[in-house]
A and B are shown apart, each in its own frame.
Chain A
Amino acid sequence: SSELTQDPAVSVALGQTVRITCQGDSLRSYYATWYQQKPGQAPVLVIYGKNNRPSGIPDRFSGSNSGNTASLTITGAQAEDEADYYCNSRDSSGNHLVFGGGTKLTVL
């Protein structure tokens, strides 16, 4: 079992706002990193650190953190945002890296 917990599935209406969460004790010390993965493709980094977007990631993606919970928010979700989203951090010992179980986002 993962030390980072994500809801398995979330849905959002086109153009609406959705929040995907990730919980884990290690998030009190380590920022969650967020990746988007579409079917048959490699993961893509979307958010890292406090709230940093790599070049090319739309500004509708944002990140936040509070206590042991990290959130990825998509403001004005688009059809192309339908994908699996994974959070990533270190485990509670700090020695190993872990991923959350992933959240499948459906855009209705």
Chain B
Amino acid sequence: EVQLVESGGGLVQPGGSLRLSCAASGFTFSSYWMHWVRQAPGKGLVWVSHIDSDGSSTSYADSVKGRFTISRDNAKNTLYLQMKSLRAEDTAVYYCARDKGYYYDTSGGHWVMAFDIWGQGTKVTVSS
């Protein structure tokens, strides 16, 4: 079964750090780009970060750039999100998601992308 399982969430004080993990199984983890997406309580989905298949390329939302670091260990089939200088506004459920593949649809003249597998999420609460 294709599966993503997040862990590492919890309660942390403002200014603190936390590392989230996402364990992948049932597919060739090293072949896929991966993403982190978060959702604050009662709010919508917000993309956080991406990493390509071998970890050589990453990108971040402006709201977390310089504070969060995405990484992966393909030997362990695990994705990580190191979070530092945490703020109250980082409080959210954090999901990891598999990127189905990014390609150009020549028939339609548009780029295609999708997150086809999601984990169940891990909750991060930043509060004193």
- Chain A interface (Cβ < 8 Å from any Cβ of B): 2, 29-31, 33, 35, 37, 42-45, 48-50, 54, 65, 84, 86, 88-90, 95-102
B59 smallest CB distance to A (angstroms): 7
Contact residues of B with A, CB < 8 Å? 35, 37, 44-47, 50, 59, 61-62, 95, 97, 100, 105, 107-108, 110-116, 118-121
Are B114 and A42 within 8 A (Cβ)?
no
Question: Do A65 and B113 touch (CB < 8 A)?
Answer: no
**Closest-CB distance, B123 to chain A (whole angstroms):** 12
Q: A45 touching B116 by the CB < 8 A rule? A: yes
Q: What residues on B are CB-neighbors of A37 within 8 Å?
A: 45
Please tell me if the beta carbons of A97 and B47 are within 8 angstroms of each other in the complex.
Answer: yes
Which residue of chain A has its CB nearest to the CB of B60? A96
What is the interface of chain B mostly: helix, strand, loop, or mixed? strand
- Whether B110 contacts A50 by the Cβ 8 Å rule is yes
Using known A-B contacts A43-B95, A49-B114, A54-B116, determine if residue A31 contacts B45 with beta carbons closer than 8 Å.
Answer: no
Residue from the list B37, B61, B108, B118 in contact with A44, Cβ < 8 A: B118
Instruction: With a 10 A CB-CB cut-off, give which of B44, B100, B112, B116 has the most chain A CB atoms.
Output: B44
> Which partner residue on chain A sits nearest B110 by CB separation?
A31
Q: Is the CB of A33 within 8 A of B107?
A: no
The minimal Cβ–Cβ distance linking A45 to chain B, given in whole angstroms, is 5
Q: Are A48 and B105 in contact (CB under 8 A)?
A: no
Nearest chain A CB to B120's CB is how many angstroms away? 6
Are B112 and A49 in contact (CB-based, < 8 A)? yes
Contacts A33-B115, A50-B105; is A42 near B110 (CB within 8 Å)? Answer: no
Given A96-B61, A97-B35, residue A43 in contact with residue B116 (CB < 8 A): no
A50 to B45, CA, bound (A): 22
CA distance A107 to B67 in the complex (A): 41
Q: Are B113 and A90 in contact (CB under 8 A)?
A: yes
Contact present for B120 and A30 (CB under 8 Å): no
Q: B50 to chain A: which residues have CB within 8 Å?
A: 97
Contact call A43/B45, Cβ cutoff below 8 A:
yes
